[in-house]
């Protein structure tokens, strides 16, 4: 900036690390300077910038506007442009306002044009960073990355560590949305290096929230929770309550993924209250969507449908059609779980038309993929194949490798299950490709390994089949919590049960006793965790009538008009009752299931019973229950 007084520049640098302290110092300076003094304009600029970084939008608007007027009168043209850019940033940080947010693209484009005309390409590139942020907020990661590519050389060659850190983090965020988690991790690591260099806890905390997003998408839920808690502590220390709310929004979602239903519901309900208090409309809608996800994982379908529909209405109100479509697709997932296949397909057809109207190619591909899965559930092989192949083609064109891998996974299993004479070569190729692509998604990759083992078994290659089954079972053993809580669909657990039955049957046939015993222990551990994590609600007698009445009433309103208060009141009442209901114990943080130490067990038993011993263990192979002894 065109600073005549270095102290104001130092205050702005401080604001990038500790905005609250910078704001207090700038406010004190304003109180000590006469409004007629030229330095007052710079103090106003520093205070407005610090308030913007502190996310106090009302203060930021007031003092940045004041600074614009005073600096313009003094002829500081570039400083005025910088203040206007800070005003746009403040708009980005404020609760959603349709009119103000609609002006952001034009305001940014205008600033970029003026900076370029004044031959300040670095300032134009810095303004483009805000545009990338806006594109990410709007759910447009592809355009965000294209914009980032256009300015990367300027920022990385001429920009400060802050400039570079911001750009790298925004690129990581966009890559995460596109499923490119490995690239996102590398970019984020570079961003963390920059912000560590300038010692900015604020920006590091923001990096940890992006890391948590990457972890969650990679199904590393415990690590996601750890990163969110680290970020949350920093935001609390810096007095950034809205950032704390953002962390809690994601914490509720992660707790739901971990199967901790009570904690997830309590956290999400608290977040809804706090987000409404701060007028954070987008976070309110996101929290409703997360509430639907938590309910879906817990098989509380009435609550899931109600939450998704309320979230959908809220996203429509704040002009977020991308998220509105996701809510509709999630509703179709619930209908699929309820085996309302025809209703789900009708809904998806309507959503597909809306996705096409909006030009949302990603959501259109997701829609087709889900239709393929539903047709597979219904035994409609030809239709399912057509949908899955088309979804794979679209995801490949869009460079979404993970989703493309999921399509191949479903195609491979479709070819194995729904034909009298399966095309083993085609199925094996699809599953092998999926296994490679889904390396970062173990909750899906194990199904590819299982399918490859099944192909080998059908071909009579028993040793190769057993090796694949063991690979899959080891992954399942480390993911037992995810199997219980991440996928509400009972099809997933049925397939895990089927995996162990295949593996045990083959291990028995090949005479691998130790392997049989270890597999049997893993099988029981998974079954136990699913049983613990997905219990029926334990409703106290004094709440039974209230619960049933509220559940029935909520379900009756789901398809009705959702703009009035009746639906919202019914949903709130039902959720409050759920929070009062005592659930079965939730799961602790998952640890890998330990291997059975058979040799040590034998030694201990032989020492304790030198005269001889026998332990019988029954195993479930699907068609019989053989007994084994260690």
Write out pLDDT tens, residues 36-68: 999 999 999 999 999 988 989 889 989 999 999
Distance CA 74, CA 196 (A): 37
Instruction: Output b/e per residue, 322-339; b: 16+ Cβ within 10 A.
Output: ebbbbbbbbbbbbbbbee
Whether pLDDT at 582 is above 80: no
What b-and-e string marks burial along 130-164, b requiring 16 or more CB atoms within 10 Å of the CB? bbbbbbbbbbbbeebbebbeebbebbeeebebbbb
pLDDT computed for residue 304 by the predictor = 92
Could you tell me which residues come within 8 angstroms of residue 104 by beta carbon, excluding any fewer than 6 positions away?
A: 88, 91, 92, 134
Q: What is the pLDDT of residue 516?
A: 72
pLDDT digits 0-9 by tens, 313-322: 999 988 888 8
Q: What is the rounded CA–CA span in Å between residue 450 and residue 16? A: 50
- Range from 89-93, 109-113, 519-523 carrying the lowest mean pLDDT: 519-523
Q: What whole-number distance in Å separates Cα of residue 388 and Cα of residue 383?
A: 9
What pLDDT shows up at residue 625? 47
Dist. CA 24–CA 390, nearest whole Å: 58
Residue 585 has pLDDT above 50, yes or no: no
pLDDT score for 493: 64
Crossing angle for the helix pair 442-458 and 490-510, nearest 10 degrees? Answer: 40
Which among 362, 364, 324 is positioned nearest to 348, based on CA atoms? 364
pLDDT at position 615: 60
417 CB contacts (<8 Å, ≥6 apart)?
A: none
Alpha-carbon gap, residue 161 to 191, rounded angstroms: 9
Residue 231 tokens, joined = 């970020």
Query: Could you tell me which residue, 435 or 440, shows the higher pLDDT?
Result: 435
Which has the minimum average pLDDT: 158-172, 307-321, 385-399, 511-525?
511-525
Average pLDDT over residues 439-467: 92
Greatest Cα-to-Cα distance within the chain, rounded to the nearest angstrom:
102
Contact in structure between 504 and 520 (CB atoms under 8 Å): yes
Q: Average of pLDDT values for 92-105? A: 75
> Which segments of 398-489 does DSSP mark as H helices, in order?
401-417, 424-437, 442-458, 462-478, 480-485
The confidence score (pLDDT) of residue 11 equals 87
* pLDDT, tens digit, 9 for 90 and up, residues 501-552: 888 888 888 877 767 767 776 666 555 445 544 444 566 777 777 777 777 7
| Mean pLDDT value across residues 425-437 | 95
Residue 294 pLDDT level (bands cut at 50, 70, 90): confident
pLDDT of 552: 78
**Distances 484 to 194, 370, 481, 519, 588 between C-alpha atoms, Å:** 40, 21, 5, 18, 13
Q: Which domains does the chain have, with CATH numbers?
A: 6-210 (1.25.40.10), 441-535+597-630 (1.25.40)
What pLDDT score does 361 carry?
Answer: 87
State the pLDDT confidence band at 593, using cuts at 50, 70 and 90. Answer: very low
Two tokens, residue 315? 């996203």
Which pLDDT value is given to residue 618? 53
Number of H helices, E strands in the chain: 31, 2
Average pLDDT on 174-187 reads 90
Percent of the chain with pLDDT over 70: 82
Least confident segment among 228-232, 275-279, 467-471, 472-476: 472-476
Q: Average pLDDT in the 150-159 region?
A: 97
- Inter-residue contact 368 to 390 (CB < 8 Å): yes
Of the candidates 506, 476, 509, 507, the residue with the CA atom closest to the CA atom of residue 493:
476
Q: What are phi and psi of 628, to 5 degrees?
A: -135, 160
What's the whole-number average pLDDT of the chain? Answer: 84
How confident is the model over 131-148, as pLDDT tens digits? 999 999 887 888 999 999
Cβ neighbours of 455 (radius 10 Å): 25
pLDDT of residue 288: 94
Q: Identify the pLDDT of residue 565.
A: 74
Give per-residue pLDDT as tens, 1-31.
444 445 788 888 888 889 999 999 999 999 9
* pTM recorded for the entire structure: 0.77
For 1, 236, 425, the CA distances from 198, given in Å and listed in that order, are 19, 21, 55
* Cβ-contact 435, 446 below 8 angstroms: no
Mean pLDDT, to the nearest integer, of 323-351? 95
What is the rounded CA–CA span in Å between residue 188 and residue 400? Answer: 19
602 vs 550 pLDDT, higher one: 550
More confident residue, 478 or 295: 295
Separation between Cα atoms, residue 55 and residue 66, nearest integer Å: 18
C-alpha distances in Å from residue 172, one per residue of 139, 145, 168? 14, 9, 6
340: Cβ contacts below 8 Å, ≥ 6 apart: none
What pLDDT is recorded for position 579? 66
Mean pLDDT within 434-438: 94
**pLDDT value for 586:** 41
Give the pLDDT band (50/70/90) at residue 242. Answer: very high
CA distances (Å), 235 to each of 50, 223, 594, in order? 15, 19, 38
Whether the pLDDT of residue 330 is over 90: the answer is yes
Predicted local distance difference test score (pLDDT) of residue 623: 52
Name the phi and psi angles at 180, rounded to 5: -95, 70
Per-residue pLDDT tens over the stretch 213-237: 999 888 788 999 999 999 999 999 9
Q: H or E stretch including 89? A: helix 77-93
Answer whether residue 489 shows pLDDT above 70.
no
Per-residue pLDDT, 548: 76
């Amino acid at each position: 900036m065109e600073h005549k007084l270095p102290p104001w520049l130092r205050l702005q640098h401080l604001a990038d690390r500790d905005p609250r302290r910078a704001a207090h110092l700038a406010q004190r300076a304003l109180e000590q300077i006469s409004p007629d003094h030229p330095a007052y304009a710079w103090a106003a600029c520093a205070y407005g910038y610090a308030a913007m970084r502190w996310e106090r939008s009302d203060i930021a608007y007031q003092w940045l506007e004041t600074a614009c007027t005073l600096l313009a009168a003094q002829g500081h043209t570039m400083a005025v442009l910088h203040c206007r850019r800070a005003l746009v940033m403040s708009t980005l940080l404020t609760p959603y306002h349709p009119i103000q947010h609609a002006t952001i693209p034009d305001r940014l484009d205008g600033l970029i044009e003026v900076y370029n005309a004044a031959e300040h390409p670095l300032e134009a590139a810095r303004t483009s960073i805000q545009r990338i942020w806006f594109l990410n907020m709007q759910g447009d990661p592809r355009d965000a990355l294209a914009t980032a590519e256009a300015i990367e050389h300027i920022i990385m060659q001429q920009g400060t560590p802050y400039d570079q850190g911001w750009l790298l983090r925004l690129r990581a965020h966009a890559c995460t949305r596109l499923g490119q988690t490995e690239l996102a991790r590398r970019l984020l690591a570079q961003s963390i290096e920059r912000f560590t260099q300038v010692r900015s806890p604020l920006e590091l905390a923001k990096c940890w929230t992006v890391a948590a997003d990457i972890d969650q998408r990679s199904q590393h839920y415990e690590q996601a929770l750890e990163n969110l808690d680290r970020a949350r502590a920093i935001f609390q220390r810096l007095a950034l309550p809205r950032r704390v709310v953002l962390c809690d929004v994601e914490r509720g979602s992660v707790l739901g993924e971990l199967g901790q239903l009570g904690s997830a519901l309590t956290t999400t309900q608290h977040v809804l209250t706090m987000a409404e208090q701060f007028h954070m409309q987008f976070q309110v809608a996101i929290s409703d969507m997360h509430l639907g996800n938590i309910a879906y994982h817990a098989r509380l379908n009435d609550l899931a449908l109600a939450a998704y529909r309320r979230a959908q209405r809220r996203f429509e109100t704040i002009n977020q059609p991308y998220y509105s479509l996701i809510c509709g697709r999630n509703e179709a997932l619930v209908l699929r779980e309820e085996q309302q296949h025809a209703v789900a397909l009708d809904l998806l057809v309507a959503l597909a038309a809306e996705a096409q109207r909006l030009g949302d190619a990603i959501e259109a591909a997701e829609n087709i993929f889900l239709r393929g899965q539903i047709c597979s559930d219904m035994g409609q092989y030809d239709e399912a194949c057509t949908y899955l192949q088309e979804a794979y083609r679209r995801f490949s064109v869009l460079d979404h490798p993970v989703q493309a891998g999921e399509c191949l996974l479903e195609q491979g299993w479709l070819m194995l299950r729904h034909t009298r004479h399966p095309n083993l070569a085609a199925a094996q190729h699809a599953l092998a490709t999926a296994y490679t692509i889904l390396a970062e998604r173990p909750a899906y990759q194990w199904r590819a390994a299982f399918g490859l083992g099944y192909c080998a078994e059908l071909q009579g290659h028993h040793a190769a089949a057993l090796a694949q089954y063991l690979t899959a079972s080891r992954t399942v053993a480390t993911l037992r919590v995810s199997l219980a809580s991440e996928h509400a669909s009972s099809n997933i657990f049925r397939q895990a049960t089927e995996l162990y039955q295949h593996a045990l049957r083959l291990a028995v046939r090949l005479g691998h006793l130790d392997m049989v015993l270890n597999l049997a222990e893993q099988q029981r551990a998974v079954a136990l965790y699913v049983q613990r994590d997905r219990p029926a609600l334990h409703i106290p007698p004094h709440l039974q009538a209230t619960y049933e009445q509220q559940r029935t009433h909520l379900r009756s309103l789901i398809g009705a008009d959702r703009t009035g208060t009746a639906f919202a009141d019914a949903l709130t009442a039902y959720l409050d009752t759920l929070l009062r209901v005592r659930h079965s114990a939730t799961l602790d943080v998952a640890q890998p299931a330990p291997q059975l130490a058979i040799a040590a067990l034998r030694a201990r038993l032989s020492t304790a019973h030198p005269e001889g011993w026998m332990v019988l263990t029954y195993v479930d192979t699907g068609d019989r229950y053989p007994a084994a002894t260690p």
